[in-house]
Structure 1
Amino acid sequence: MKLRLQNETLLSQQAKIQEQNIDIHFKNQRLELLNERSKSNEEVLKKAYIKLKENDQRIKEQLHTIEVSNKTLSSSINAAQTIQNAILPQKDVLKTFIGDYLLIYKPKNIVSGDFYWFCQYQESTFLAVLDCTGHGVPGAFMTLIGSILLDKIINVQGVTSPAEVLAQLHQEVERVLRQKETGNINGIDIAILKISPQVDNTYVLTFSGAKRPLWYWDVQNLALSQIQGARRSIGGEQDESVAFVDHHIHLSLGSLVYLFSDGFADQNDFKRRKLGEERLYSFVAGIVGLPLTQQQALLEELLAIQMNNCEQRDDIIFLGFKLGL
């Protein structure tokens, strides 16, 4: 009896040992599986790390390429700015031929699609403000074309009627840009003025415009007046039935004249509302009796208030001068 109990106890212990062995076996298998997974994950992590290093190196190389390209581009744009500045009339030259003046010239980018142009031909002074298609580098290229063509038309071909200058300029832009062949529609809005001094110390102004007006203040009647340009541009597809017209004005010494692009009036505020040409006209009418230095300061203040917390929308040029003073 005692022997049988011992055998049963022994069998029970053997069964428990067998169960423990089976449990240990499964645990070993699980550990081996976890170990394999760990090795696999480690291999994945190693590959991911290598890939990240490769990507990091590639990004560094791309950033270097971009930096080099940006430096090259900045250098090219700065060179373009130098060229553009060279074609603008020098301030001392303007002072000599048109006397006291104000000038607000603010390119949207480093170079501008707006510019002012001047020449002296025979007994008259020609002054123009041009707003070329686009801004930045594309607009700047158009300013070079416009300046060269104006020099050719007036100084070489001897055309002295502003309306005829605009008609010739339109044909030349079409020809130079091969617009009829290529479909290119780049163009120019322009106000051009011929100033002819008279023997009695008065001036005859001959104005013509392509979508740009002339504002003038006659010192005799103390009123700000305006003449609209033709409702067409230079270059591109235009209504050829709309002709450029010469407008003649007789003004006294000390009268004021204003030429400008649309950039000032088109500047929006933080509510996306444009300043507007009508509001700008009213503002100028209110300050026209002040010295030009004060007028410039007030116009710049108006523009700064309008642009507060806003990006500049377009190139800006505003030129005003006093006849003979």
Structure 2
Amino acid sequence: MYGYEVCEIIKSNKDTAHISVIFITAKQDTESIVKGFKIGASDYVSKPFNEHELMSRLNYHLELITTKRELEISAANLQEKNDTIMQSIRYAEKLQEAMLPSADDLNPSFKNHFIYFKPLQNLSGDFYWSKSTPKATYFAIGDSMGHGVPGALLSMVGINALNDIFEQDHNISPADMLTQLRKKEQTVFSSTAGIMHDSIDIAVCKFCTETKQMEFSGANLNMIIIGNHDINVDFESKHLTKTQQDDKHLIHIPGNKNTIGKNLIVEPFTNIEIEIKENDKVYLFSDGYRDQFGGNKGQKFKKKRFIELLLRISNLPFKDQKEELDKTMNNWKGEHYQIDDITVIGLQPF
């Protein structure tokens, strides 16, 4: 049996395929050498061979085999750890999903609504929250600093804090809710090493069923309302803007610049009252949509395009509005990577 045949038998058997084969051969032509490597040889030594050369090559290939086995063991261990981590993340994803209100939860409280929720990773730093009483419905959207696991942990802290605040006072104003939330978060942040500079941007709305009034307060997040009438707000700010397109009136209402967390200057949150009419649409959003890079020049989507988009789609059914938001974002983003969690909420209260 020729050396080539022996090598083929060794390499074709899964139990022996790992064995290094070194040819000791008198053949030194390129064709023979290439053939040997093609069928699985690791090396060759020309006849007449030197014993020291042969032993050096043997030791070298033994070291390669040992290193390969160590790498395979390390890779298997890493894969096992990765599988465990991913399993934990998938479980955490389900927990986070369970903490967010579902469409069925919102249906009794709103005439129409959509939730466009596009996390950057499995877990999201963006979140939304809602609670109802016979007289009012509360809705909040939050944007935690960071995304993935750190952002998701902050979002869960925020959701739990909102639940606690609501349970203590079912008639609390949005501004007071943010004030209480700030106190709770400052306690958490100041007592937990390493997260002193973490924060949550959040906007809270309260829709009063009987009076058809709404209240709004924002911590570094804003709100947009679109209606077929001039929307009056008893609030003045250089950042408040109004836009009209045909019979559509849009008002962009800013929140306070303070976030929930550490601020250089702590300011009181403003509670803004707005009269909502039938078929008015309220939009809440994190900064992920407008900050996404894309287009021909790789620019951010920005506030102006976002307002124009909402004006264009606001008369569509809410399901179609959500689809248009997704379609527009995908077209804008193109080959660019998503850079942040993206959340846009559309609500028709009455």
Scaled to the shorter chain, the TM-score interval is 0.7 to 0.9
Q: Secondary structure at the match of 1:229?
A: coil
Residue by residue over 1:28-56, the C-alpha shift from the partner in whole angstroms, topping out at 9 and shown as x without a partner, is xxxxxx99983222121111101000000
Deviation at 1:293, TM superposition (A): 2.2
Looking at CA atoms only, which structure, 1 or 2, has the larger radius of gyration?
Answer: 1
Deviation at 1:215, TM superposition (A): 0.3
1:135 aligns with 2:160: no
Aligned to 1:150: 162
Q: Partners in 2 of 1:99 and 1:37 — Cα distance?
A: 89
Q: Which residue among 197, 214, 223 is the counterpart of 2:249?
A: 223
Tell me which amino acid in the other structure corresponds to 2:276: L
Aligned to 1:193: 205
Aligned to 1:88: 100
1:212 aligns with 2:224: no
Q: Which residue among 258, 270, 286 is the counterpart of 1:261?
A: 286
Q: Secondary structure at the match of 2:107?
A: helix
Q: Secondary structure at the match of 1:177?
A: helix
Tell me which amino acid in the other structure corresponds to 1:256: K
1:117 aligns with 2:142: no
CA RMSD after TM alignment: 2.0
Tell me which amino acid in the other structure corresponds to 2:141: V
Q: Conserved in 2, the CA contact under 8 Å of 1:100 and 1:321? A: yes
Q: Conserved in 1, the CA contact under 8 Å of 2:189 and 2:195? A: no
Gaps of 5+ in 1: 1-33
Change (3 A) 1:216 1:293: same
Q: Secondary structure at the match of 2:127?
A: strand
Deviation at 1:157, TM superposition (A): 4.2
Tell me which amino acid in the other structure corresponds to 1:250: E
Aligned to 1:237: 263
Q: Secondary structure at the match of 1:232?
A: coil
Aligned to 1:249: 274
Q: Conserved in 1, the CA contact under 8 Å of 2:292 and 2:301? A: yes
Aligned to 1:19: none
Aligned to 1:26: none
Residue by residue over 1:161-182, the C-alpha shift from the partner in whole angstroms, topping out at 9 and shown as x without a partner, is 1111111111101112335876
1:275 aligns with 2:275: no
Tell me which amino acid in the other structure corresponds to 1:278: K
The count of residues paired between Structure 1 and Structure 2 equals: 287
Change (3 A) 1:78 1:41: same
Structure 1 segment 277-316 matched on structure 2, within 5 A: 277-316=303-342
Q: Partners in 2 of 1:247 and 1:130 — Cα distance?
A: 18
Deviation at 1:247, TM superposition (A): 0.7
Q: Partners in 2 of 1:121 and 1:197 — Cα distance?
A: 9
Tell me which amino acid in the other structure corresponds to 1:253: E
Aligned to 1:57: 69
Tell me which amino acid in the other structure corresponds to 1:119: K
Deviation at 1:224, TM superposition (A): 1.0
Aligned to 2:4: none
Q: Partners in 1 of 2:151 and 2:195 — Cα distance?
A: 18
Residue by residue over 1:64-116, the C-alpha shift from the partner in whole angstroms, topping out at 9 and shown as x without a partner, is 01110110010000010011011000211111111211211011001100011
Q: Partners in 1 of 2:320 and 2:193 — Cα distance?
A: 49
Aligned to 1:48: 60
Residue by residue over 1:177-205, the C-alpha shift from the partner in whole angstroms, topping out at 9 and shown as x without a partner, is 33587661111001110000235xxx211
Q: Partners in 1 of 2:169 and 2:210 — Cα distance?
A: 24
Q: Secondary structure at the match of 1:188?
A: strand
Change (3 A) 1:276 1:187: same
Q: Conserved in 2, the CA contact under 8 Å of 1:159 and 1:165? A: no
Q: Conserved in 2, the CA contact under 8 Å of 1:84 and 1:140? A: yes
Seq. identity, %: 27
More helix by share: 1
Tell me which amino acid in the other structure corresponds to 2:277: S
Q: Secondary structure at the match of 2:146?
A: coil
Q: Which residue among 81, 85, 88 is the counterpart of 1:76?
A: 88
Q: Conserved in 1, the CA contact under 8 Å of 2:101 and 2:128? A: yes
Tell me which amino acid in the other structure corresponds to 1:251: I
Tell me which amino acid in the other structure corresponds to 2:281: L
TM-score, length of structure 1 as denominator length: 0.83
Q: Conserved in 2, the CA contact under 8 Å of 1:179 and 1:236? A: no
